[in-house]
Chains A and B, each alone.
Chain A
Amino acid sequence: MSAQPANPANLANPASRDWPLFEVFIRSKQGLDHKHVGSLHASDAAHAITLARDVYTRRQEGVSIWVVPSNAITASAPEQKAENFDPMASKIYRHPTFYDIPAEVGHM
């Protein structure tokens, strides 16, 4: 799916008849991060914003919306999941619970 607007003349390939796909991110309230909530098809980014408001905030789920063309997202490779993330498991000294603090010292 291309983020470029579909060419209406090109009807041979069914996929080209869809508007481009956008990923939608919503800030549920001031002070929180935008969070991925889903996707939708829209003719361009401005259109995607207005449609995201109607599709994803019908129950006051948000106060701010981001949209990103789906094909603009670069993702880490699933097959590198183990080598990327497993080595972090052994670095237990990064966590506060690794350290014993004598009870007399109190909260730290």
Chain B
Amino acid sequence: MYTQAIDVGPVDATASRSTTPQDDEFLKRIARDEKIEPQDPMPEAYRKTLIRQISQHAHSEVVGMLPEGGWITRAPSLKRKEILLAKVQDEGGHGLYLYSAAETLGVSRAELIDALHSGKAKYSSIFNYETATWADIGTIGWLVDGAAIMNQVPLCRCSYGPYARAMIRICKEESFHQRQGFDIVRTLCQGTPEQKAMAQESINRWWWPTLMMFGPHDADSPHTGQATAWGIKRITNDDLRQKFVDVTVPQAEFLGLTLPDPDLKWNAARGHYDIGRINWDEFRRVVNGDGPCNAERMHDRVKAFDDGAWVRDAAAAHAAKAAARYATSPDTRIAA
């Protein structure tokens, strides 16, 4: 699961202006759709922008384990329990692939995690909303993962090789996530009146935050141009959002669910659905730390990391002892 590119602008706008002959050559390579690999020359601003975007993406996957993870122990059937466990585990895997991609740019995972825990690094604000009911597990899969897939598929073609390869693996694994969510919502809609109401109430809460995942309107995204020139961003926020709305509205109709937007209607002239005004004040509030669960999510992440310190240290200490024993007497090494 993921997220919009929360903030894909260059770290330092002036640094991004191509000045050296090497940078001109770099832009020509991007224009030829050549992939950039870790050891290749690259402008410093490109490297920093990638580290920020990939690590935000990685943080989003790992923090994203929490809202759904809270329902693993309460999943209402054994089949759903297995599916949810496997899905949340996949998200951990996706975080791992992305941290690895970021590490090829010369930053350590420990530094990235420090940045998350100290509040310096951002993650997708969608995970700061509460998963109050089981229906939210379905909604997250159907809508949030659905929105994420819209965003991730173009990233499979992004200019940085390790990021593009991580995204290909992620998209392949992610293909079941949206389906299992839709399947949960569909089962609820075909269930008891209480279950159907649970599904509708959940959609009411998640619809607008999901649309916000695609990020600010293009007119308010000053950095999109640079990210596009660098081949990091392929499709604009508004285009992706529109695409998502256009495929999702008929799915909601199929389920017999109402999307909470009185202005939502088909625009025959445009060939697209029109939507109402997005509440960007809420978006900014949640991004800036004032969402329903920001504090809880960070608390859980930091606690898991801190509680795990002695475990990681024990493994490192044991490996050091075993390596020392092996160095002095290779014959005594015990194969694990």
Contacts and interface: CB of A to CB of B under 8 A. Distances in A.
Interface string A4-23: 11111000001111110100
- Interface size bracket, B side: 20 to 34
A29 B96 CA distance: 24
Contact of B313 (A8, A37, A46): A8
A7 B315 CA distance: 11
Contacts of A58: 86, 89-90, 93
Closest 5 CB pairs of A and B: A46-B336, A43-B315, A15-B108, A8-B313, A5-B319
Contacts of A21: 103
Interface of B: 37, 39-41, 86, 89-90, 93, 96-97, 100, 103, 108-111, 114, 165-166, 169, 173, 312-313, 315-320, 322-323, 335-336
Nearest to B320: A5
B108 A14 contact: yes
Interface in A9-57: 14-19, 21, 37-41, 43-44, 46-47, 50, 55
A79 B25 CA distance: 13
28 contacts: A1-B103, A4-B320, A5-B317, A5-B320, A5-B323, A6-B316, A7-B316, A8-B312, A8-B317, A14-B108, A14-B110, A15-B108, A17-B312, A18-B108, A19-B312, A19-B315, A37-B169, A38-B166, A43-B318, A46-B335, A46-B336, A47-B319, A47-B336, A55-B93, A58-B89, A58-B93, A78-B41, A79-B41
Contacts of B89: 58
Contact of B109 (A5, A8, A41, A78): A41
Contacts of A16: 110
Nearest to A56: B93
A70 to B, nearest CB: 9
A16 B313 CA distance: 11
Contact of B320 (A7, A18, A38, A39): A7
A59 interface: yes
A75 interface: yes
Chain B at the A interface: mostly helix, strand, loop or mixed? helix
A76 B272 CA distance: 50
Nearest to B169: A38
Contact of B110 (A15, A75, A78): A15
Given A14-B111, A15-B110, 18 more contacts: A4-B323, A5-B320, A7-B316, A7-B320, A8-B312, A8-B316, A14-B108, A14-B114, A18-B109, A19-B316, A38-B100, A39-B103, A43-B319, A46-B335, A46-B336, A55-B93, A55-B96, A59-B173
Contact of B39 (A4, A40, A43, A75): A75
A15 B111 contact: yes
Interface in A57-96: 58-59, 75, 77-79
A77 B108 CA distance: 22
Given A8-B313, A14-B111, A38 B97 contact: yes
A37 B169 CA distance: 9
Contacts of A4: 320, 323
Contacts of A55: 93, 96
A44 B320 CA distance: 9
A1 B322 CA distance: 20
A78 B41 CA distance: 8
